[in-house]
């Protein structure tokens, strides 16, 4: 019994340590910046933001291999004065895709269902990192007495194994590249 437990721990550490060190070494310096929250005429809370310094050697390698890169944006609206059993007020995700046509040496982005074609990677990444007027929620969902904050994150260059094995094996998500959560308090004048 003792020998089995020791072998199991060694097996887990054999996968965990290389994944942890590789993830920190390859992780880019991408971050969410220039966040603006607005109140739309339709009674919606909207957010605009920019992700800066997207890139890295791993992203270039994935694009050069011909595989598409999925960008997953997560936007959460959290009520700060909530009870423990209450969850987030709103949690939304949306995706964009970047791929490279190696024959034409062009970059193709899919943004809001539209395909855009670019000759340079920097221009394609600029479009991928810019989000304008994304609707978070209807303002009627928010309590006028509540305190809220938005949290924004981008995950890209996600590591996927065949046959969905990435869901079964632990620590595979350490290879994903992501930005740290950007936290912005929502001014009360937007939802009163």
Percent of the chain with pLDDT over 70: 72
- Cβ-based neighbours of 171, under 8 Å, separated by 6 or more: 15, 16, 19, 20
Tell me the three state secondary structure of residue 50. strand
What are the tokens at 123?
Answer: 């221009």
Tell me the three state secondary structure of residue 91. strand
Report the number of distinct structural domains present in the chain. 1
- Alpha-carbon gap, residue 50 to 39, rounded angstroms: 18
Percent of the chain with pLDDT over 90: 35
pLDDT at 1: 62
pLDDT surpasses 60 at 22: no
pLDDT surpasses 70 at 73: yes
Pick 192 or 4 by higher pLDDT.
Answer: 192
pLDDT surpasses 50 at 101: yes
The whole-model pTM stands at 0.73
Where is average pLDDT lowest: 45-54, 93-102, 137-146, 170-179? 170-179
- Alpha-carbon gap, residue 64 to 157, rounded angstroms: 13
Average pLDDT over residues 160-183: 67
- Structural domain including 57 reads 2-190
Q: What is the mean pLDDT of the chain?
A: 79
pLDDT at 190: 84
Q: pLDDT tens across 109-153, in order?
A: 988 888 999 999 999 999 999 999 999 988 888 888 888 999 999
């Amino acid at each position: 019994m003792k020998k089995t437990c020791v072998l199991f721990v060694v097996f887990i550490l054999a996968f965990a340590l290389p994944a942890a060190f590789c993830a920190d070494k390859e992780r880019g310096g991408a971050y969410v910046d220039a966040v603006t929250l607005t109140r739309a005429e339709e009674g919606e809370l909207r957010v605009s933001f920019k992700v800066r310094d997207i890139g890295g050697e791993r992203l270039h390698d994935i694009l050069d291999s011909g595989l598409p890169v999925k960008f997953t944006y997560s936007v959460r609206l959290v009520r700060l004065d909530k009870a423990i059993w209450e969850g987030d007020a709103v949690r939304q995700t949306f995706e964009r895709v970047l791929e490279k046509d190696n024959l034409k040496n062009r970059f193709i982005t899919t943004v809001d269902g539209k395909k855009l074609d670019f000759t340079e990677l920097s221009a394609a990444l600029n479009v991928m990192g810019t989000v304008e007027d994304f609707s978070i929620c209807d303002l009627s969902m928010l309590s006028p007495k509540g305190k809220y904050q938005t949290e924004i994150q981008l995950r890209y260059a996600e590591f996927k194994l065949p046959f969905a094995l990435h869901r079964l094996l632990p620590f595979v998500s350490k290879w994903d590249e992501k930005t740290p959560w950007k936290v912005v308090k929502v001014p009360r004048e937007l939802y009163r």
